């Protein structure tokens, strides 16, 4: 078809979609698949290759063997200079270095449209595009993946990198690195290698290679014949390798042979001097005919493309000028010269070599044909412009993000776990300090740890003085567990102990000796050898590298959200040897991951963002927190908007909301269910039997089964505060004061304190209140106001202490608290209403509900504050029917019993204390339309909501302050924001089921 275009520009027909449609349809070109037929590169004479070859001058055939370096972060002069080289000399390809994806895509489009023959575009992306391009995903280093035992994940990574390369118009990725890193001091390979075991390196390299080549991106094994045992960086000098031929054959060449046997598409030759193969002084292997032509091509019979390593590296450039070094590489047998720095001189020098009979034009033509055959396999005969719209989003797709997480989770390696300290047990017995070594700023690791329980943060900087160390030692002495993260380490070997100072070593050594210490090292795994006595720590974890994801994963392993399964790919010291790696328990506590981990798609949950954004846009609430957990995994957790409509303080996931009536199921019901499981509470006994103050009242004989289903006849509520106000609007003398005192010690709001005995008057009001005239369901706060007294009578313990000691602290729900002003800064607490009728102020840090406020902020119907993360832990406990982290807190299947509908046949759809779908499947209900009948939860007046679905193993939490600035704002309910956001999750589940069903049908 190229010959039908009638143009000397063999690429012209691909410039636009219009011109493509106008051309005559061509028959499918023969497919070269290097995985199955590497010989194709050398011998196939397709029509397209023949037509291109016939159009090229001798100089242009030479140029096909040249690839030049390009940067998308440089100025217009650089961009134009590359364009000039392409148009003038018709070079065969480009290797892109640092820059950005959109900029590179635009440059690629320009250059491909300016070239005579489609350009072979490459990238050095060992850990994906992120190695070179900003705004793209950085997959783990190869040493990190050396710890992965499941090669399928590495294959999947190769496939995803190939998809991203193709999206970017890249046809070659110079990866994998198959060097065996058996020298811990290697300054150039190190973390770039899969490890020191040749079998492990080969398996993982093959997986990576096949993942790319199965998706039509050429892999390139490097650095032939093996760069793993060197002490010189070939970027700056020429390493000399003094191995025997037996050693090279048995070790360094092993993975290369394995990859070649599995269809390796290309090889990159290293810059090393190897006397046993070629004893020419200062001659790099790249320039050695004995190594490239004789060993690689003849002895190993390799037929794929052979690339030089970059020819501007000092391993070769310091000995030969540009042009000359390129010709020497060509004469040695390389097919493609990478990073040619002087194209004009190189072509001239090659022509001179032909004239001098050092190489023939036929040999040049054969290599040019080989390059063209590869271009055909890459699909360059049908090149299309790169679409830059949505490019960054496509490259950062959820599948790739989740795959990146899976790789990191599979790689992290636990090297010590004394007395099975991991995952951490018994949180209520621990005082935990999170120590960041090497930095003075809060780390992602510390933030990750804080999701599980309260941790106090400390820092040990590299510049710490002895006085600083002593002070820190004294501060940490009060903790019975220290979790130390070692950060900011140098990545390369040979760089002053990776940045580990003598002071850091001294402090950690003493800390490990004197206290329970978990040490997590974020950086080059070889750095462990420089940490004295680290093997004596209670637990030792290596993450191989430092980024937010690695720190997130390690924090989850420590608390058992996920389990560790990585294996050490190198020997670090006598204490830490290759193959070491302990398995730890996962699914112990909540994990934090992506929807893909439970078979859902991130994009299918994006509707939650839209639902909440609508609510904020229509001023239904100034902000919100939303959390979704499925199968014990938090798959969605976001904070939206601001604390108030002033838009000054953005909502964070750690901020505390007033939970309003969600308090009922989080405090009163939690305590009563726990007591029921212990045989100390019975729903078929009466209120009077548990609460003496109700004896003799009309409430004495009310059964708790009726009370908890709101059909006992109790009034909905009592406006207690009205009894405190005189006709002139001022408070009665014996009710409130502006300052605290012995008689008025209980804080109700800012500058408002209530009489110490006023609660007794409230309880008496409840006792004296009439019952409803008609029987049936009436939602009431009154029994929940009394519940703390019931719990205290049964347990002999103060209500809040009972909850915190028996439930909240043990499960790590430490933000669940009454009166948060006692424990948190005001900036962490979201305000509720500006209340004009009672407290006449913005309610901030104190409870919104008037009755709960008058009880000092502690009640069983309202008053609890917390964030979505900690409330989800309690709801997960409920979903697990009373167990969490392998411990039962509410026994006897009590939650299953309490969450059942008690009087559905009478039209009361409530469970014991819990809401249930009032009319399952109905719109504008208290539940999402798709919520199953057995699901349960509760809502709160301030705009809070939580729901538990045992069928789909879902926990859902929605927190907002819709009452800000006024409770007279019904928009959140009118919009059905809370249940509509949950419905998005159900829709995603149904979509996933449909996709699976369709896939199952197709497979059958």
Kindly state the tokens that stand for 417: 């776990």
Q: By C-alpha distance, which of 504, 462, 454 is closest to 481? A: 454
Name the DSSP class of 722. G
Q: By C-alpha distance, which of 552, 510, 553, 534 is closest to 415? A: 534
Are 751 and 665 members of one domain?
yes
Q: What is the pLDDT of residue 26?
A: 41
CATH code (residue 335): 3.20.20.300
Are 389 and 429 members of one domain?
no
pLDDT averaged per 10 residues in sequence order, the chain, 1004 residues: 32 37 39 54 73 96 98 97 98 98 98 97 97 98 97 98 98 97 84 96 98 96 88 78 91 96 95 93 95 97 94 89 96 97 97 97 95 93 96 97 98 98 97 97 98 98 93 97 96 82 94 97 95 96 97 98 98 97 98 98 98 98 98 98 97 98 98 98 97 96 97 95 91 94 97 96 96 93 98 98 98 98 98 96 98 98 98 98 98 97 90 87 77 96 98 98 97 97 98 88 73
Are 384 and 417 members of one domain?
no
Q: What is the pLDDT of residue 16?
A: 38
C-beta contacts of 753-757 below 8 A and 24+ residues apart:
754/854, 754/856
979 lies in some domain: yes
Name the DSSP class of 855. T
Are 802 and 841 members of one domain?
yes
Q: What is the pLDDT of residue 233?
A: 74
24 lies in some domain: no
33 lies in some domain: no
Are 350 and 453 members of one domain?
no
CATH code (residue 827): 3.40.710.10
595 lies in some domain: no
407 lies in some domain: no
- 10 Å CB burial of residue 752 (0-12, 13-18, 19+) is buried
Are 583 and 617 members of one domain?
no
Residue 764, sorted as left (phi over 0), alpha (psi -120 to 50) or beta, turns out to be alpha
Q: What is the pLDDT of residue 25?
A: 39
CATH code (residue 491): 3.40.50.1700
CA end-to-end span of the chain: 40
Rounded CA separation 931/936 (Å): 9
Are 866 and 785 members of one domain?
yes
378 lies in some domain: yes
Q: How many residues does the chain have?
A: 1004
Residue where the block lists tokens 């078979």: 599
Q: What is the pLDDT of residue 997?
A: 86
Residues 907 and 925: beta-carbon distance below 8 Å: no
Are 317 and 284 members of one domain?
yes
Are 618 and 570 members of one domain?
no
Listed in order, strand segments (DSSP E) in 244-401 are: 266-269, 305-308, 337-338
**Range 610-625 burial, b when 16+ CB lie within 10 A, else e:** ebbeebbeeebbbbbb
Q: What is the pLDDT of residue 925?
A: 76
Tell which of 346, 361, 394 closes a domain.
394
Tell which of 394, 425, 449 closes a domain.
394
Residues 270 and 223: beta-carbon distance below 8 Å: yes
Q: What is the pLDDT of residue 236?
A: 79
* Total domains in the fold of the chain: 3
Tell which of 558, 589, 620 closes a domain.
589
Residues 6+ apart with CB under 8 A from 949: 879, 931, 932, 934, 935, 955, 956
Are 131 and 267 members of one domain?
yes
Q: By C-alpha distance, which of 892, 863, 909, 897 is closest to 668? A: 863
19 lies in some domain: no
Are 327 and 453 members of one domain?
no
Show the domain range for 483. 412-589
15 lies in some domain: no
Q: 3-state DSSP call for residue 192? A: helix
Are 173 and 311 members of one domain?
yes
Rounded CA separation 609/638 (Å): 9
Reported pTM:
0.94
């Amino acid at each position: 078809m190229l010959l039908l275009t009638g143009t000397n520009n063999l690429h012209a027909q691909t410039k636009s979609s219009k011109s493509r449609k106008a051309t005559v349809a061509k028959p499918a070109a023969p497919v070269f698949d290097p995985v199955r037929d590497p010989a194709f590169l050398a011998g196939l004479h397709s029509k397209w290759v023949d037509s291109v070859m016939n159009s090229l001058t001798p100089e242009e055939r030479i140029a096909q063997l040249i690839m030049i370096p390009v940067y998308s972060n440089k100025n217009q002069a650089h961009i134009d200079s590359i364009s000039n080289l392409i148009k003038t000399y018709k070079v065969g390809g480009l290797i892109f270095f640092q820059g950005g994806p959109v900029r590179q895509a635009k440059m690629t489009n320009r250059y491909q449209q300016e070239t005579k023959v489609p350009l072979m575009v490459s990238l050095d992306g060992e850990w994906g595009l992120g190695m070179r391009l900003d705004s793209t995903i950085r997959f783990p280093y190869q040493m990190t993946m050396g710890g992965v035992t499941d090669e399928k994940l590495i294959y999947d990574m190769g496939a995803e990198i190939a998809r991203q390369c193709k999206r970017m118009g890249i046809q070659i990725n110079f990866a994998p690195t198959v060097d065996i890193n058996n020298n811990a001091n290697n300054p150039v390979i190190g973390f770039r290698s899969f490890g020191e075991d040749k079998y492990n390196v080969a398996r993982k390299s093959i997986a990576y290679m096949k993942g790319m080549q199965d998706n039509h991106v050429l892999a390139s094994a490097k650095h032939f014949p093996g760069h793993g045992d060197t002490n010189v960086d070939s970027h700056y000098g020429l390493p000399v390798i003094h191995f025997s031929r037996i050693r090279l054959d048995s070790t360094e060449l092993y993975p290369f042979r394995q990859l070649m046997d599995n269809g390796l598409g290309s090889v990159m030759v290293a810059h090393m001097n190897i006397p046993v193969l070629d004893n020419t002084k200062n001659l790099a292997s790249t320039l050695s005919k004995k190594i490239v032509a004789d060993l690689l091509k003849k002895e190993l019979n390799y037929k794929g493309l052979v690339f030089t390593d970059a020819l501007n590296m000092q391993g070769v450039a310091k000995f030969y000028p540009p042009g000359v070094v390129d010709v020497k590489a060509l004469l040695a047998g390389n097919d493609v010269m990478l990073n040619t720095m002087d194209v004009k001189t190189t072509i001239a020098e090659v022509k001179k070599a032909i004239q001098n009979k050092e190489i023939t034009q036929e040999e040049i033509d054969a290599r040019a044909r080989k390059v063209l055959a590869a271009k055909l396999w890459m699909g360059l005969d049908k090149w299309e412009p790169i679409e830059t719209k949505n490019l960054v989003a496509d490259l950062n797709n959820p599948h790739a993000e989740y795959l990146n997480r899976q790789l990191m989770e599979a790689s992290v390696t636990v090297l010590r776990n004394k007395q099975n300290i991991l995952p951490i047990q018994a949180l209520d017995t621990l005082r935990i300090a999170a120590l960041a070594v090497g930095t003075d700023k809060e780390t992602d690791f510390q933030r990750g740890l804080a999701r599980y329980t309260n941790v106090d943060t400390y820092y040990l900087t590299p510049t710490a003085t002895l006085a600083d160390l002593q002070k820190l030692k004294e501060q940490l002495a009060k903790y019975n567990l220290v979790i130390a993260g070692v950060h900011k380490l140098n990545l390369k070997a040979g760089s002053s102990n990776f940045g580990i100072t003598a002071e850091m070593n001294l402090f950690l050594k003493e800390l490990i000796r004197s206290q329970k210490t978990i040490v997590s090292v974020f950086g080059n795994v070889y750095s462990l050898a420089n940490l004295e006595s680290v093997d004596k720590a209670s637990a030792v974890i290596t993450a191989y590298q430092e980024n937010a994801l690695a720190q997130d994963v390690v924090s989850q392993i420590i608390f058992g959200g996920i389990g560790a399964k990585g294996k050490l790919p190198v020997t670090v010291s006598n204490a830490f040897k290759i193959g070491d790696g302990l398995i730890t328990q996962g699914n112990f506590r909540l994990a934090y991951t992506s929807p893909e981990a439970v078979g859902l798609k991130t994009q299918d949950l994006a509707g939650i963002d839209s639902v909440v954004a609508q609510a904020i846009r229509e001023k239904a609430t100034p902000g919100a927190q939303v959390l979704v957990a499925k199968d014990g995994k938090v798959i969605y957790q976001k904070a939206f908007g601001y604390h108030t409509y002033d838009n000054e303080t953005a909502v964070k996931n750690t901020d505390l909301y007033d939970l309003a009536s969600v308090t009922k199921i989080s405090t009163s019901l939690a305590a009563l269910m726990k007591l029921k499981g212990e045989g100390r509470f019975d729903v078929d006994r009466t209120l009077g039997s548990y609460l003496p103050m109700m004896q003799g009242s009309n409430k004495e004989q009310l059964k708790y089964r009726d009370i908890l289903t709101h059909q006992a006849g109790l009034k909905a509520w009592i406006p207690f505060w009205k009894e405190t106000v005189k006709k002139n609007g001022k408070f009665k003398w014996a009710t409130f004061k502006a300052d605290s005192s012995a008689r008025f010690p209980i804080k109700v709001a800012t500058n408002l304190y209530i009489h110490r005995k006023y609660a007794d008057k409230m309880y008496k009001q409840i006792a004296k209140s009439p019952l409803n005239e008609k029987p049936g369901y009436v939602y009431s706060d009154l029994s929940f106001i009394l519940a703390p007294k019931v719990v205290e009578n049964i347990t002999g313990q103060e209500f809040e202490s009972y909850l915190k000691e028996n439930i909240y602290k043990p499960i790590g729900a430490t933000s669940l608290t009454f009166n948060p002003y006692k424990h948190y800064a005001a900036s962490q607490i979201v305000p509720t209403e500006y209340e004009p009728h009672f407290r006449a102020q913005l309610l901030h840090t104190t409870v919104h509900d008037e009755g709960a406020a008058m009880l000092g902020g502690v009640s069983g119907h309202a008053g609890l504050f917390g964030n979505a993360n900690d409330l989800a832990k309690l709801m997960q406990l409920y979903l697990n029917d009373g167990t969490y982290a392998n411990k039962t807190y509410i026994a006897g299947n009590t939650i299953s019993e309490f969450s059942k509908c008690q009087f559905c046949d009478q039209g009361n759809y409530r469970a014991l204390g819990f809401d249930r779908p009032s009319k399952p499947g109905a719109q504008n209900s208290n539940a999402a339309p798709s919520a199953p009948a057995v699901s349960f939860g509760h809502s709160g007046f301030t705009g809070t909501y939580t729901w538990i679905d045992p069928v789909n193993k879902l926990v859902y939490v929605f927190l907002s302050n819709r009452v800000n600035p006024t409770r007279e704002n019904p928009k959140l309910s009118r919009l059905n924001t809370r249940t509509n956001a949950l419905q998005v999750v159900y829709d995603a589940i149904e979509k996933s089921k449909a996709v699976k069903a369709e896939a199952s049908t197709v497979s059958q």
